[in-house]
């Protein structure tokens, strides 16, 4: 399992086996806080099933979802840097299965296999770019444009292309309340915007399943 997940894709087989023996698996219910902002994580965690939101507190008691992680994505990278706390709070958005590699085991591995550290730094850099993208979107784009970008990003990372449906399938799609927290708006505005996009033929949805049309995907490429 770990050999297919960044940052371990270039690790030697014997190193993967050592890490796998140390993995602690757990199932977390929806709403469980996995790592708090400012807290030093006790390991690197992998989402096996479900979805984990990375959240940061905002003014007025509200919060904003900076990233939503699906199966195969990791959080808690700060555990590899002494004295550094998590930059966001990780919360299980739905019932989720998590695999955690304890910090001491990970640090020992990083000393033996620096390729993993290089790849982990790339992951952290990508997350920083995601945060910068969210920040610039809040400042420069209207709600519909922010929602378009968010849905396309989620589809590319967690969805799958379906030529028979003429688009990308995202399932389960985040709730409208979650989408509102991702784009810095309210649920009612997101609901109206999604309805408008559906009428324009950009997307369709049924329950927790959404299909993003090729026109939308290509426009936001």
Regarding whether 152 and 84 lie in a shared domain, the answer is: no
Regarding whether 83 and 109 lie in a shared domain, the answer is: yes
Quote the radius of gyration of the chain (alpha carbons, Å): 18
Regarding whether 93 and 24 lie in a shared domain, the answer is: yes
Regarding whether 111 and 33 lie in a shared domain, the answer is: yes
Placement of tokens 């329950």 in the chain: 207
Regarding whether 34 and 98 lie in a shared domain, the answer is: yes
Percent of the chain with pLDDT over 70: 100
- pLDDT value, residue 158: 92
Is residue 162 pLDDT above 90, yes or no? no
Instruction: Please give the mean pLDDT across all residues of the chain.
Output: 93
Residue 123's domain spans which residues? 2-138
Is residue 106 pLDDT above 90, yes or no? yes
Regarding whether 119 and 24 lie in a shared domain, the answer is: yes
Regarding whether 79 and 9 lie in a shared domain, the answer is: yes
Q: Lowest mean pLDDT of 1-5, 77-81, 130-134, 176-180, name the range.
A: 130-134
- Greater confidence (83 vs 191) lies with 191
Tokens found for residue 82: 């002494």
Domain holding 81: CATH number? 2.60.120.10
Is residue 221 pLDDT above 70, yes or no? no
Regarding whether 42 and 16 lie in a shared domain, the answer is: yes
Q: Lowest mean pLDDT of 68-72, 160-164, 190-194, name the range.
A: 160-164
Domain holding 176: CATH number? 1.10.10.10
Task: Specify the number of domains making up the chain.
Answer: 2
For residues 86-93, average pLDDT: 96
| Strand extents, DSSP E, 17-87 | 24-28, 33-35, 43-49, 52-57, 63-69, 74-75
Regarding whether 151 and 126 lie in a shared domain, the answer is: no
Residue where a domain terminates, one of 106, 122, 138: 138
Is residue 185 pLDDT above 80, yes or no? yes
- pLDDT value, residue 78: 94
Regarding whether 115 and 151 lie in a shared domain, the answer is: no
Q: How does pLDDT run across 147-159, given as a tens digit for each residue?
A: 999 999 999 999 9
Residue where a domain terminates, one of 95, 111, 138: 138
Residue where a domain terminates, one of 138, 160, 187: 138
Q: What gap in Å lies between CA 79 and CA 182, rounded to an integer?
A: 25
Q: Judging by beta carbons within 10 Å of its beta carbon (0-12, 13-18, 19+), is residue 136 exposed, middle or buried?
A: exposed
Peptide linkage before 129 cis (omega within 30 of 0): no
Regarding whether 149 and 69 lie in a shared domain, the answer is: no
pTM higher than 0.85, yes or no?
Answer: yes
For residues 6-20, average pLDDT: 96
Contact 102, 24 (CB under 8 A): yes
Regarding whether 164 and 84 lie in a shared domain, the answer is: no
Q: How does pLDDT run across 35-76, given as a tens digit for each residue?
A: 999 999 999 999 999 999 999 987 777 899 999 999 999 999
């Amino acid at each position: 399992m770990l050999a297919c997940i960044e940052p371990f894709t270039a690790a030697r087989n014997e190193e993967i086996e050592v890490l796998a023996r140390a993995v602690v698996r757990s199932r977390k219910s929806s709403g469980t806080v996995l790592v708090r902002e400012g807290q030093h994580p006790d390991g690197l965690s992998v989402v096996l099933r479900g979805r984990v939101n990375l959240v940061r507190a905002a003014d007025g008691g509200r919060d904003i979802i900076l990233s939503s992680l699906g199966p195969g994505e990791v959080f808690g990278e700060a555990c590899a840097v002494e004295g550094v706390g998590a930059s966001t709070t990780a919360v299980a958005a739905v019932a989720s299965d998590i695999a955690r590699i304890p910090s001491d085991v990970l640090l020992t591995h990083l000393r033996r296999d620096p390729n993993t550290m290089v790849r982990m730094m790339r992951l952290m850099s990508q997350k920083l770019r995601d945060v910068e993208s969210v920040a610039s979107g809040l400042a420069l784009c209207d709600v519909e444009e922010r929602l378009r970008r968010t849905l396309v990003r989620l589809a590319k990372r967690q969805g799958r292309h379906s030529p028979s449906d003429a688009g990308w399938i995202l399932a389960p799609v985040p709730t409208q309340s979650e989408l509102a927290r991702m784009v810095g708006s309210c649920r009612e505005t997101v609901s109206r915007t999604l309805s408008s996009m559906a009428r324009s033929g950009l997307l369709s949805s049924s329950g927790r399943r959404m299909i993003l049309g090729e026109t939308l995907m290509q426009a936001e490429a």
